[in-house]
Amino acid sequence: MSKNDRIVFLDYLRAIACLLVVVGHVYIIGYNGQPEIQPFVPGVTAIIFGPNAPLRNIFTPPLLWVLVNTGVNVGELGVCIFFLISGFVIQRAIERETTTDFLIKRALRIIPVALVASFLIGATTAIYCYLTHTVSPHSFVSLLASSAALGGYLHTFPSTPVLWTLAVEIMFYALVAIGAGLGLRGLPGILCIGICCAAFVAAVNASFIVSALSQSVRSELQYASFSVLQVPYLLIGSCIYRATSGDRRAIGFLHAVLLGCIYLIARYAYITEHGDSGGFDVPNGIAGLVVFATAMWSGMQWRWIRPLKRIANASYPLYMLHVPLGWIAFAWMASMGLGMVSTGIVTGFGLLLLSGMLHVFVELPAQRLGKTMTSRKDVATTAETA
């Protein structure tokens, strides 16, 4: 595979991962669920389209068959693919940029979109709750905290149920940046970061170690350990990048296998204390690796898949907006008498349009600002050196 192919396939794979998450949250939970929706859309007290909606949902039979026979959940599978893409892309970025430039660009890549998306969700929820005579779960502080995925640490309500993945991404960026600052950029460095993550998860979830700490400190550390737990899985993507960008292919893939084992050890330590790892489970993690490897091997250079590039461009805004906005749209249109099919089509196109606008008017300008800030700093550094 050529160097360009390695990057091109990521765009289409990112679109597929995003669509899997959207299908899982909007077209499975949105049609079939209620307990998952009600905290974010207080007016929803029953299944939106009636108790027999799961039977009328065309997505239910095939996805239920896949879940029962393989253990793969489309939403979790999409998240796993996203994590592997992040590991691959971030390793590429950290090897080409200074640590400061990396952090500036990632902050401007993540926070502006999250900020606008959070307050857009908050405003839409407030209008819906006003019309349905219910109380919005959001506040200014909770929406601000959601913009940087800090709600779990500040104990505020999240703007979207997928916010935990953004907290994982930010934790990953921070740990990779720290590792790069310490010179841990190659395969041994990646492995070292993974081992440190597993050690941290095991330590803060071992009662005999943290029993001396106060309940509040222990709670914060254990919450952080949930994000740290996922990092070794993302680092598998980093090892795959190293394996495919140099001559040490076998060693790179060996490190990926070792990181998979490290992730399982960390997961066991977390489950021992909490009974459930949350996030994603092992079948979905394996399925994510299979999909990622297949996409990378094929290169995804097919003409028919090219329209997905537009979705890939707006995948992050779409990811941040699709719920609870999709659920609110379902509840509102159902109250007007629209059926499942028409509501699903209108909601899908509406989310794509809104995400595209957020990409053009928020995400792209923020990315350009990041490039401008880092390029100016590079010019200044060059001038000082001269």
The string of pLDDT tens digits covering residues 107-153 is: 999 999 999 999 999 999 999 999 999 999 999 999 999 999 999 99
Condensed to tens digits (0 to 9), the pLDDT of residues 214-241 reads 889 999 999 999 999 999 999 999 999 9
For the chain, the domains span 3-378
8 Å CB contact between 328 and 125: yes
Q: Which whole-number Å values give the CA distances from 302 to 6, 225, 305, in the listed order?
A: 14, 41, 6
> Above 80 in pLDDT, residue 14?
yes
How many H helices and E strands in the chain? 18, 0
Supply the pLDDT for residue 377. Answer: 59
Cβ-in-10-Å burial (0-12, 13-18, 19+) of 45 comes to exposed
Question: Taking all residues of the chain, what is their mean pLDDT, rounded to a whole number?
Answer: 93
Comparison of pLDDT for 212 and 151, the residue scoring more: 151
Token pair in block for residue 116: 């606008």
> Above 80 in pLDDT, residue 7?
no
CA nearest 85: which of 261, 225, 241, 219? Answer: 241
SS3 assignment, position 247: coil
Condensed to tens digits (0 to 9), the pLDDT of residues 91-112 reads 999 998 999 999 999 999 999 9
Supply the pLDDT for residue 339. Answer: 95
Supply the pLDDT for residue 247. Answer: 62
What residue has token string 């660009």?
105
Distance, CA of 72 to CA of 74 (rounded, Å): 6
Distance, CA of 79 to CA of 167 (rounded, Å): 13
Condensed to tens digits (0 to 9), the pLDDT of residues 173-203 reads 999 999 999 988 889 999 999 999 999 999 9
Q: What is the DSSP letter of 206?
A: -
Handedness of CA 266, 272, 273, 279 (dihedral sign): positive
Give the pLDDT band (50/70/90) at residue 31: very high
Distance, CA of 198 to CA of 207 (rounded, Å): 16
8 Å CB contact between 179 and 192: yes
Phi-psi label, residue 337: left if phi above 0, alpha if psi -120 to 50, beta otherwise: left
Give the pLDDT band (50/70/90) at residue 381: very low
The pTM for the full model equals: 0.94
Supply the pLDDT for residue 248. Answer: 79
Supply the pLDDT for residue 348. Answer: 98
> Above 70 in pLDDT, residue 336?
yes
- Which range has the worst mean pLDDT, 4-13, 62-71, 346-355, 362-371? 4-13
Supply the pLDDT for residue 207. Answer: 82
* 3-class SS string, 280-312: CCHHHHHHHHHHHHHHHHHCCCCHHHCCHHHHH
Condensed to tens digits (0 to 9), the pLDDT of residues 249-288 reads 899 999 999 999 999 999 999 999 888 877 899 999 999 9
Token pair in block for residue 277: 């790892």
Supply the pLDDT for residue 383. Answer: 42
> Above 70 in pLDDT, residue 57?
yes
CA nearest 164: which of 53, 76, 88? Answer: 76
What residue has token string 């994000």?
227
Distance, CA of 367 to CA of 361 (rounded, Å): 11
Phi, psi (rounded to 5 degrees) for 241: -60, -45
Supply the pLDDT for residue 353. Answer: 98
Distance, CA of 159 to CA of 202 (rounded, Å): 30
> Residue range 333-350: average pLDDT?
97
Q: What percent of the chain has pLDDT over 70?
A: 95
Supply the pLDDT for residue 174. Answer: 97
